[in-house]
Each structure stands twice: as structure tokens, then as C-alpha cells.
Amino acid sequence: MHLDLSGKVALVTGSYKGIGFGIAQTLHTEGCLVALNGRNSKGVSTATAKLFGSIGVVGDVTKTSDAQRLVAEVVKTFGRLDILVCCVGSGRSVPPGKENANEWNRVFATNLWSVTNIVEAAQEALTASKGVIVCISSICGVEVIDGAPITYSAAKAALNAYVRGISRPLGKEGVRINAIALGNILFEDSVWSHKLVEDKLAVFSMLKKEVSLDCFGSLTDVASLVSYLVSSRSGFATGGVWTLDGGQVRS
């Protein structure tokens, strides 16, 4: 399927490694001009060098000032912004029942404010280009996943609600927004790569019991769905939370 993404300007937050870099790399292959982001200057520089013609902007999008600066730098360099992919997030938190105020604030900043800040900062540029936004969420925000941190689950549920709600005012400006609720994605240095080293039998048992396809998802799976959602091929899709979990959630 031809996605017609050549020449589009794409900003991918949290993209110097892992899922974010996988998405940025695929969009680059599709012909996008890509802006990479992260808080680690060395990591951003290394990742940017791998994608010819891309730029890297160091910044923490949980801070409104950094989010605004990031968008301004992209627009200054490329002249516009067509695609925003929000990848900043982390499921690392305290065990269920051990939450406190500081942890709630930290996890919500990482998984929700990181999105609302950059969407707000990018709204004018995306309105001008009739652009599109994709937010990386989690199945933990769709239903209760046994053992998942409550802080993370609540933050992702809030993110999903935000995407559904903000799609209406954004839609009036010609801007589309969707989220992808990820299940278990395996890649280098991921949570699951470490769990496989710790207890491979327990991981395989979980997959067999909980996941219909009895396997992990890959970076290619994620990036392929993102590429479709940011393309004109999905032009009628907005306000959706697309589940990508191999058949794990039941609700």
C-alpha cells in the first residue's frame, strides 16, 4: 500500500531509542523528514546520525517550555509540521498499593503531560498543515492488567480519554488524532527482553495463557500501524484507541 508520506515533516518525541526510534526509522524510510527527540543529548545525537537528513532536538516534553521550544525548532528547520507521534512514556512505577503523591505526579507527567504539552505546542502548526497525531498508549489503560502499576494504568486510561475528547475540537481544525494501546512489545533492552533473561519459562507461560497469538509484538508491528494512521489512507480515522496486543485484552 502506497502511503504517500514522502516529504512530510514528522516529529517523534522520545525517539532516540526503543519504540520511538523504531517509528522514526520507519517514517524516515517512507520518505518523511524526521525530527528526533529525547532528554539524553548523546543518545539523540547518535540516533540522528543514523537517519540522513533528520534533526535532533534535546528536550523534556513534560515541561511546557521545552515542548514549545521543540516545535519551534522543527518548524524553523523544515518550515512546517505534518505529523506528531507522542512516544514519551514509561510503565516503571511502584507495585500496586504502594503509590504516593510524588509517584502519581511523576507517572502522570511522563505518560500524560508529555502528550498534552506537545499537542498544545504543536496545534497551530498542525492546523496549518491539516496534520495528524498518534499517541503511544497501553492496554493497561483499556482494562486492568494483573500486576501492572496502578499509577501507569490510570495515566494511560486518562491518555485514552484525552485522545477521544480532544479529537472533536482538533477535528474542527482538520487535525486527526488517534492512540495505539500496545500490549507486549519485544525489542532490545525492553522490559520483556530483561524478563526473558530472568525467567523465560514464566514469560512463555504468560504468553500462552494471556495472548491469543501466543507471541510478542515487534517494533515493525508498531511502526507499521503508526505509518498507516498518519497517512491519508486512514483519513476517516480519528479519536480512536487502536489495540495492538496480539489478542490479550478481553473487554
* pLDDT score at 194: 86
What pLDDT does 103 receive? Answer: 97
Spatial contact of 180 and 174, defined as CB atoms under 8 Å apart:
no
- Per the domain annotation, does 193 fall within a domain? no
Q: pTM value?
A: 0.96
Q: pLDDT under 70 in the chain at which residues?
A: 1
Closest alpha carbon to 126 in 168, 171, 180:
171
The verdict on residue 199 lying in a domain is no
C-alpha of 74 from chain center: 18
In a domain, 190, yes or no: no
What pLDDT is recorded for position 199? 92
pLDDT of residue 152: 96
At 147 the pLDDT is 86
Sequence-distant (≥ 6) Cβ neighbours of residue 87 within 8 angstroms: 12, 13, 14, 15, 19, 20, 23, 136
**Is residue 197 included in any domain, yes or no?**
no
Element (H, E) at 55: strand 55-58
For residue 92, what are the domain limits? 9-185+218-244
Model pLDDT, residue 179: 98
Amino acid 1: pLDDT: 65
Please state the φ and ψ torsions of residue 2, each to the nearest 5 degrees. -80, 125
Residue 27's CATH number: 3.40.50.720
**Could you give the number of structural domains in the chain?**
1
213 within domain boundaries: no
Whole-number pLDDT of residue 2 = 83
Tens of pLDDT, residues 158-194:
999 999 999 999 999 999 999 999 999 998 888 888 8
Q: What is the pLDDT of residue 151?
A: 97
